[in-house]
Amino acid sequence: MHQLRVGLRRLRSAWQLFDFIATDSALIDSASALFRSLGVARDQLVVDAAFAAEIRHSLEGVGVEPVPVHPRRHDASSTELLRSETTQSLLLGLIEASVERGLDSDAAPTPVAECLARPLKRWHKQAVVDAKRFAELDDAQRHRLRKRVKRLRYAVEFSAGLFERKAVRRYLKPLRALQERLGAISDVIVAIEALRATPERDTRAWFALGWLSARRAALIEQAGAELKAFAKADVFWR
């Protein structure tokens, strides 16, 4: 499920980066809708897998009996979603769109590297602005920064072959580190929101909320090194 969402995110990032190539808007809308629908299942996996074992261990450490863990059954709704006519039509449409066609225009095309440098520059600037004021951002804004960093990373990887290899590698190192840090923060926030949505909370739930809130604060504080490294990264598309 997670890898499918990663693939869809990469696809959507590619469409944004290569916006000078005509794309069927219906495909874009369908891919976006499928991505959002799969997000619910992915968020539940975060709650079940990412923190459950650590919270159980912490509960035992303070003498509180954890809730027994029962393996979660495969989400049938996700299976039905992927087998649906809408999703299958999207997959067939993507296969059709991947077939290369000749260019209709006889005009000299703009060099691809020049076309890609413009969005790379714009997306880098947006991410740096948020990185420099990270402490002032709320959770929604930090999530937005994470999405921007992901999109930027995918765009760099898509266009890497057009630029100097070592320069691209130097730029990607702090970018990837920042993405990992922001991902860890986002996972904690997802788990907190899931617990807050629970109508009734017992001692264990309140303990888990406190534990997750402390983890969130620690990760935000620890993000300083990655944020500074990325903000100072030398770009390669000059």
176 lies in some domain: yes
Residue 57 lies in a domain: yes
CA dist., res. 154 & res. 147, Å (int): 11
Q: Is residue 191 part of a domain?
A: yes
Q: How many domains does the chain have?
A: 1
Report the chain's terminal Cα–Cα distance, integer Å. Answer: 38
Residue 238 falls within a domain, yes or no? no
> What's the pLDDT score for residue 193?
82
- Could you tell me where the beta strands, DSSP code E, fall in the chain? none
For 209, the token pair is: 């909320």
Q: Does residue 210 form part of some domain?
A: yes
- Give the pLDDT score at 3: 87
Residue 106, domain member (yes or no):
no
89 and 30 Cβ atoms separated by less than 8 Å = yes
Question: What are the backbone dihedrals phi and psi of residue 167, each rounded to the nearest 5 degrees, phi first?
Answer: -65, -40
Give the per-residue pLDDT at 75.
58
Residue from 198, 129, 123 nearest 159 by CA: 123
Rounded-to-integer distance, Cα 153 and Cα 168, Å: 11
Please give the Cα distance from 1 to 72 (Å, whole number): 14
Per-residue pLDDT of the chain (238 residues; tens, 9 = 90+): 778 889 999 999 999 999 888 888 999 999 999 998 887 666 666 655 666 667 766 766 666 665 544 445 555 677 888 999 999 999 999 999 888 766 555 666 788 999 999 999 999 999 999 999 999 999 899 999 999 999 999 999 999 999 999 999 999 999 999 999 999 998 888 888 877 777 666 677 777 888 889 989 999 999 999 999 999 999 999 7
Backbone φ and ψ for 104, nearest 5 degrees, come out as -85, -30
Residue 192 is assigned to a structural domain of this protein: yes
CATH number at residue 225: 1.40.20.10
Which residue reads 């944004």 in tokens?
A: 16
Is 38 contained in some domain? yes
Q: Where in the sequence is the domain holding 208, given as residue range(s)?
A: 2-99+112-231
